[in-house]
Amino acid sequence: QVQLVESGGGLAQPGGSLRLSCAASGTIFGLDTVDWYRQAPGKELEMVAHSTSVDTTDYADSVKGRFTISRDNAKNTVYLQMNNLQLEDTATYSCYAEVRFNRQGPIVGYWGRGTQVTVSS
């Protein structure tokens, strides 16, 4: 019974910062790939950050230099630090994580519920 729960969304001013968290609950061995996505009304789903269990990361061009994905393996939690927020960053942000239940077993993907980020002056 695995759940991914995002938190940390809210209202920020242009130029401000927010830190999103994606915490995996339940009995798991650990997280493999974890990605952050966002979707604004009327726009397509966009991957903004990607990370792997071996610390490989990648970012959408629109957020490079401003967003940073990281993780705390002991807490089974992944973070998205968002700096210098812009109006265009307003969206619902969701995490997708591939979860291991044991050291050698299969990997199962899960989606979180999403958290709203609103950037407004």
Give the pLDDT confidence of 35-52 residue by residue, as tens digits.
999 999 999 999 999 999
pLDDT at 76: 93
Give the pLDDT confidence of 99-112 residue by residue, as tens digits.
998 888 889 999 99
Interatomic CA distance for residues 118 and 44, integer angstroms? 17
Residue with the larger pLDDT of the pair 54 and 48 = 48
pLDDT at 22: 97
Q: What are phi and psi of 90, to 5 degrees?
A: -60, 125
Question: What's 65's DSSP letter?
Answer: T
pLDDT at 103: 87
Among residues of the chain, what percentage have pLDDT more than 90? 86
